[in-house]
Structure 1
Amino acid sequence: MKIIKVKNINEMGKVTAGIIMEEINKDDSTILGLATGGTPVSTYCNLIKAYKSGNISFKNVKTFNLDEYVGLDGNHPNSYNRFMKEKLFNHIDIKEENTHLPCGVGDLYNACEDYKVLLERNTIHLQILGLGVNGHIGFNEPGVDFNLSVHVEKLDEQTRKDNSRYFKTMKEVPTEAITMGIKDIMRAEKIILLVNGIHKKDAFNKLLNGIETNECPVTILRRHKNLTVIITEDLYIN
């Protein structure tokens, strides 16, 4: 495990974008695993800046997102499909057919199976992850089976509470999501875990010093052969 310490989320975005750009410059058909939420937004802003400056192209890049809320179609303001378009895809030269997210409406069983097949056919070269307060990665909540691939996951109340800031009321926050499983995440060649904010300290410490347990899903990442963790200064270990 490699740990990179940065001052704040803005520096985190610059460092992460730099690593992604290195991957694309080595192989312009790189396959990226992407995350949503507040933490990676700075990364996406820096990638957009680099594209607009002519320093990078996404023409041949493919992307696979971790998850999507159940019950929200791609046009819903809080869907992750919409998030990715607004925060990244609409501002770069990536082809729409090269961007992939699970579908959270309709036949969920088939949606999971379809996404599983796509992931089996495409090896993710670099997977970006955020970290939930309760230790979740993707939407793999405490108690998740580490052997699961893409599946529907019931959202922990802590997760719903943390995400409620994006919705008008707590009632509107979905109770389920389709997510890549731990099995899918661990298949990535490289993983970057972004950890921002003192409220993530307990989960981060469990990754570093705790036992491997599905009650804190992030602890499984210690098994990965190529894991980089980028942390902000409020999480520095003295």
Structure 2
Amino acid sequence: MKLIIEETEQKMSESAMFILLGAMMQDKRVNISLTSGRSPKTMYDMMIPYVKNQEKFKDIQYYLFDENPFINEEYGPNWKDMQELFFKPANIPDSHIHIMNADNWQDYDNEIRNVGGIDVMVIGLGYDGHFCGNCPRCTPFDSYTYQIDFKEKQAVNPDYKDRPYQPFTLTMGPKSLMRVKHLVMIVNGKEKAEIFKRFLDEPINQDVPATILKLHPNFTVICDQDAASLIHYEQYSRL
């Protein structure tokens, strides 16, 4: 694992963007997986002018790594968030955006593998140590893409609120992420400092499921000074 601590969120976002753009410059079909949420917003704002309507990026394909589908709706909230954050402003055609749903999730990993795999994936670190849709105390560490009932998540994580119109979660599991060629985690803000320290310090465990990702052979973690405020870099520089 390579740990990079940047001074600000802006610099953290810039470093992550350069990793993405570097991968996207390859002379082949490139498959990218991106995260929604607050952490990547600055990165997307910076990246949109580089990507929008650029012929050199015409072969880029985008894969969502999790979803919480609404009943009787084609698209879930993650797809909608990514449309707002990046896909629409960057003018990414829908034909280049691949989602998982109740019909295709069981074959999602094979679909990705058959087109060359994910070249680079950017994820965040959840406030409770989750990654993608892999939540504390209910993440099967030996899984590829899987479905989990929301009530099962609530049974072990009672702070999760009811979602009557989203009965289950679909997510790439740990084994799916281990296939990604370059896995990048971005973490920012003082509110993430405690869970970030736990992620770095603790052995692999179900209370902080993101700890499993430290086994990835090409894993880059980029954070800002606020997120790193509880750690001493020298302890982790050789991880």
TM-score range, shorter chain: 0.7 to 0.9
**How does 1:66-215 map onto structure 2 within 5 Å?**
66-71=65-70, 73-74=73-74, 79-103=77-101, 108=102, 110-122=103-115, 123-143=117-137, 144-153=139-148, 154=150, 155=153, 157=157, 160=160, 174=166, 176-215=168-207
User: Deviation string for 1:130-168 (max 9, x for gaps)?
Assistant: 11111111010112111111122334557746xxxxxxx
User: Secondary structure of the residue that 1:235 maps to in structure 2?
Assistant: coil
Identity %: 25
User: Secondary structure of the residue that 2:44 maps to in structure 1?
Assistant: helix
The one-letter code sitting in structure 2 at the alignment partner of 1:185 is L
CA distance in 2, matches of 1:147, 1:11: 35
CA distance in 1, matches of 2:53, 2:108: 34
Match of 1:166 in 2: none
- 8 Å contact 2:53–2:90 — kept in the other structure? no
1:226 maps to which of 218, 232, 235: 218
Match of 2:236 in 1: none
For structure 2, the 5+ residue unaligned runs are 233-239
- TM-score of the aligned structures, taking structure 2 as reference length: 0.82
Match of 2:43 in 1: 43
CA RMSD of aligned residues (A): 2.5
Aligned residues: 222
- 8 Å contact 2:53–2:91 — kept in the other structure? no
Structure 1 181/159 Cα, relative in aligned 2: closer, same or farther at 3 Å?
A: farther
- TM-score of the aligned structures, taking structure 1 as reference length: 0.82
Question: Per-residue deviation at 1:96?
Answer: 2.3
For structure 1, the 5+ residue unaligned runs are 162-169
- 8 Å contact 1:150–1:184 — kept in the other structure? yes
- 8 Å contact 2:36–2:85 — kept in the other structure? no
- 8 Å contact 1:59–1:93 — kept in the other structure? no
Question: Per-residue deviation at 1:190?
Answer: 0.7
